[in-house]
Amino acid sequence: MESLRIALMGGGTVGSALAELLPLHRARFEALGLGVELARVLVRDTRKSRPGIPSRLLTDNPEGFLDDVDVLVEVAGGTTVAADLVLQALEEGLLVVTANKALLAERWDELRPYAEEGSLYYEASVMAGTPILGALQSLWGNQTLEMHGIVNGTCSYLIRRMEEGATYDEAFQEASNLGYLEADPNLDVGGIDSAHKITVLGRLTVDPDLRWDKVLSRTRGIQHLTPQMLQQARAEGYAIKLVASLFPEKGEWVAAVRPVRLPESHPLVTMGSGRNALVYRGDPVGQLVFAGAGAGGGVTASAVLGDLYRALLGTPGHLPIPAAVPVPTQEVEQLQEV
């Protein structure tokens, strides 16, 4: 039986969950004629206890980390050390599975050739275990008209708590205590995390050249929202949500992130309560709605594991759309920004 050796970068919530899932799938891997082995795990602190990961596998030294392995799984995040190792692995011909939306958004020029050849798998980078990338790839036969999504659970939590009467600072502290915030909280509350994700989706569906700097220039966060604003909107039959959108504007595709007012009957309000949701509209398929868990160690690890199965079965990774699709001539109705 062939043995497949995995180098795992990141031993936090997602990495530990993946390490615990792998033994549960041993029989399935063996049915494919493969013995899957976790070879080593790169972390910042080797002294920290990590559920499911034997301490003997831990290292804090990236030198030699990719020696004698077949697949790199990267769930550490960031655009520096993670990017260097991902690019090294791809250059060496290894398959790479990543959940790193920031890396995909900001260092796309370097990664794109490998994505186009199918060596890069990244389902977990957007909406975690909800398989939105695979679903959107299956819609290439349609003319995309627009898409709108709630793709950051932390902002959804903060907005809900302010609707319930908490101040922004109180809600922010609660989210911090619960471990919901990124190490740099502005990635959440400033809309950057959502911007990373809509950039990934845009390159997958409408334009492989969608520029990160342009998306960033159309990104606003939720720091200016107040309980009064949110409660007034509800009193008028609306909900304020941080929405990441892709739509045509003046003959080009635009990606934007900003708080908007949505009718309480809108799918992003009814289905996006407490989870991620995305509304896609295309021709001829019409409107489709996707919703599910968009965060969590086990949920995200399940998508990483799904990508690992794809790689082992010889299925290519997530291919960006080959060329920009035509921009629809009809204008779409703009959401009301707050």
Which of 101, 197, 214, 241 is catalytic? The answer is 197
* Cis upstream peptide for 284 (omega within 30°): yes
Cα torsion angle, 294, 300, 306, 310, sign: positive
pLDDT (average), residues 103-120: 97
Q: Is residue 190 part of a domain?
A: yes
The three state secondary structure string of 126-142 is CCCCCCHHHHHHCCCCC
Tokens representing 61? 């030294």
φ and ψ at residue 55, rounded to 5 degrees:
-60, -30
Tokens representing 45? 């602190």
Q: Is residue 159 part of a domain?
A: yes
pLDDT at 1 over 70: no
Cα torsion angle, 51, 57, 60, 66, sign: negative
* Number of domains comprising the chain: 2
Quick one: 156 and 86 in the same domain? no
Single-letter code of the amino acid located at 294: G
Quick one: 217 and 306 in the same domain? no
Quick one: 70 and 121 in the same domain? yes
Are 62 and 87 within 8 A, CB to CB? no
250 is catalytic: no
Report angle CA 37, 39, 40 to the nearest 5 degrees.
145
Length of the chain: 338
Of the chain, the percentage scoring pLDDT greater than 70 comes to 99
Find the CATH number of the domain harbouring 116. 3.40.50.720
The Cα 15–Cα 75 span in angstroms is: 6
Q: Which domain range does residue 168 map to?
A: 140-292
Other C-beta atoms closer than 10 Å to the C-beta of 47 total 8
Q: Is residue 236 part of a domain?
A: yes
Quick one: 119 and 47 in the same domain? yes
Q: Is residue 72 part of a domain?
A: yes
Q: Is residue 214 part of a domain?
A: yes
Tokens representing 296? 């969590």
pLDDT (average), residues 273-294: 91
Quick one: 146 and 288 in the same domain? yes
Quick one: 111 and 162 in the same domain? no
- Surface-to-core class of residue 319, CB atoms within 10 Å of its CB (0-12 exposed, 13-18 middle, 19+ buried): middle
Radius of gyration of the chain from its Cα atoms, rounded to whole angstroms: 20
Quick one: 146 and 28 in the same domain? no
pLDDT digits (tens, 9 = 90+) for 125-142: 999 989 999 999 999 999
Quick one: 146 and 50 in the same domain? no
Q: Is residue 332 part of a domain?
A: no
Find the CATH number of the domain harbouring 224. 3.30.360.10
pLDDT digits (tens, 9 = 90+) for 211-263: 999 999 999 999 999 999 999 999 999 999 999 999 999 899 999 999 999 99
Minimal CA–CA distance to 241: which of 272, 196, 219?
272
pTM: 0.95
pLDDT, residue 255, reads 98
pLDDT (average), residues 206-211: 97
pLDDT digits (tens, 9 = 90+) for 189-198: 999 999 999 9
Q: Is residue 336 part of a domain?
A: no
pLDDT digits (tens, 9 = 90+) for 142-180: 999 999 999 998 999 999 999 999 999 999 999 888 878
Quick one: 8 and 117 in the same domain? yes
Q: Is residue 321 part of a domain?
A: no
Quick one: 44 and 126 in the same domain? yes
Quick one: 169 and 255 in the same domain? yes
Quick one: 53 and 190 in the same domain? no
HSE (CB half, 13 Å, CA atoms) of 291? 12
The Cα 160–Cα 175 span in angstroms is: 11
Of the chain, the percentage scoring pLDDT greater than 90 comes to 86
The rounded Cα 219 to chain-centroid distance in angstroms is: 17
DSSP for residue 285:
T
Are 197 and 278 within 8 A, CB to CB? no
